[in-house]
Structure 1
């Protein structure tokens, strides 16, 4: 392929990546080290009590935002270095919590509370998504051709549903007088409150993520199973290998690049968990790093947003994703070098 033709093919993708990925990332990085605040002027405000014959007036100094010639509030930006990261991490409180050996004090800090759930959510759901997706793929691959299409359609339904809608559906089954909550109350003989405790909410969120994402892994693995060398499988059968041994020594090594691919996609997606927090309305018990970033962007009583802290939180989230991906990327690189 000629260089001009190659550049013509990749130019649109490069431009889109620069505009929608590189530029926003650079902006977030810059904002994490700078704070933009409104400029306030001190003005004297006179307040008088109502009265017909005599009024009592008092004068006090108040701060009012400065309005520019364009009718907008004037702002100023200053470099604050690592201060925003320090405000997010709250390392002073972390040191006190470690000195007291108090887990509850550590979990009272929003960032570390969100980090604990995000890591738990990501690392627990990963093996379940891969295992369940592989199990469904093997079951469908061995199913009769007459029913294979129907099984594939049913297996893909959870993945088709929008994440927020799916989370709300499961929440409605368990919250208050939901169908499953009523069934549990009847079976156990006492009231069950699934959304009164943080650990029960976490279980439901973990269950939803596995239920929702496992079909994606199933599609990838099912496609990979169609390319398994049948001669190798037949040779293994002739040599007396059991079904488990064929799975372990033939099928899984063949699917390993796809397993790594699914793991990469799941880690990047799960570490940015947000829809489940919204759908299950778990903010009072469970929050994620992505939710924390969103919370920083919520305006306060004065209408100001903590853009610098939100940017710092977003950058820390990206650092966490990179750290999680390093082992898989190293394995992919070693396999690539070995293939050449």
Structure 2
């Protein structure tokens, strides 16, 4: 391929990336150092927006909820996905049923799926609320802090578990039968095979899944917006939802830009250990 042909193929992708990613990023960085409200001229403020954000309790509240959301939901997603993958690997007859069931959250759009999920737990006409009322338990999930948080975490588990399930099931297909047969000859039961064969072989996939699910959970917005709107109070405000409220509800675009940059830095801090581990594995290989 001639050089000019190479540039002709690459140029559209580069132009799109620069237009949709690089330019907005640098413009956001610029706005983060200004006092800017829609329709007004930006006024330079230095680090005031960043200092203000770090001194705002509501900002730290959104960080704490986001970390709680991630810390509870992601391990459960991976664990359930792993158990489902092992079950399907052992019982092939369930393949069609389990894969179809696992893909249900992805059949509908995220907003519609979130609405359906929230309706199931509605105080007056929700299906699960009705079941609990039959045994004398009346819970308004969205009216209490613990209930609203639990509902968002349950939604995260329901909507994101199919991803680790499908990835780990595909990974199981790549483990050679000889390893299992050798372990069986040595007297290893199925649980021992899982711990000494399956988990070590799937370790890179666990790291990959954790990275993807961390990025997905860190930027959670749709469920918060549709189900709780950050309530009760600000108990379920994620960092991205808080950023949205500041930038687009209050129109404090300069301050919102500073929170956006802090959000990006936060996800980088969370992902650095995984990236370092992946880099070391590649260099050793």
Where does residue 191 of structure 1 map in the other structure?
Answer: 138
Kindly tell me: are residues 79 and 194 of structure 1, through their superposed partners in 2, closer, same or farther at Cα, counting changes over 3 Å? same
Asked whether the 8 Å contact 1:136–1:218 carries over to 2, the reply is: yes
Kindly tell me: are residues 86 and 280 of structure 1, through their superposed partners in 2, closer, same or farther at Cα, counting changes over 3 Å? same
The unaligned stretches of length 5 or more in structure 2 are none
Alignment of 1:140-219 (within 5 A): 140-145=88-93, 147-177=94-124, 178-187=126-135, 189=136, 191-219=138-166
Kindly tell me: are residues 237 and 13 of structure 1, through their superposed partners in 2, closer, same or farther at Cα, counting changes over 3 Å? farther
Asked whether the 8 Å contact 2:142–2:228 carries over to 1, the reply is: no
Alignment of 1:326 onto 2:278: no
Alignment of 1:313 onto 2:278: no
Asked whether the 8 Å contact 1:174–1:181 carries over to 2, the reply is: yes
Asked whether the 8 Å contact 2:247–2:257 carries over to 1, the reply is: no
Where does residue 242 of structure 2 map in the other structure?
Answer: 292
TM-score (norm 2): 0.91
Higher percent of residues as strand: 1
SS in 1 for 2:42: strand
Asked whether the 8 Å contact 1:34–1:77 carries over to 2, the reply is: yes
SS in 2 for 1:175: coil
Shift of 1:176: 2.2
Shift of 1:9: 5.3
Shift of 1:226: 1.1
Task: Considering Cα pairs closer than 8 Å and 6+ residues apart, tell me whether 1 or 2 has the greater RCO.
Answer: 2
Where does residue 200 of structure 2 map in the other structure?
Answer: 253
- Measured in 2, the distance between the counterparts of 1:267 and 1:190 equals 34
The unaligned stretches of length 5 or more in structure 1 are 39-72, 92-108
- Measured in 1, the distance between the counterparts of 2:177 and 2:2 equals 39
- Measured in 2, the distance between the counterparts of 1:199 and 1:282 equals 15
- Measured in 2, the distance between the counterparts of 1:155 and 1:165 equals 17
Asked whether the 8 Å contact 1:164–1:278 carries over to 2, the reply is: no
Where does residue 46 of structure 2 map in the other structure?
Answer: 81
Alignment of 1:62-141 (within 5 A): 75-90=40-55, 109-141=57-89
Higher radius of gyration, 1 or 2: 1
Higher percent of residues as helix: 2
Where does residue 46 of structure 1 map in the other structure?
Answer: none
- Measured in 1, the distance between the counterparts of 2:272 and 2:249 equals 36
TM-score (norm 1): 0.77
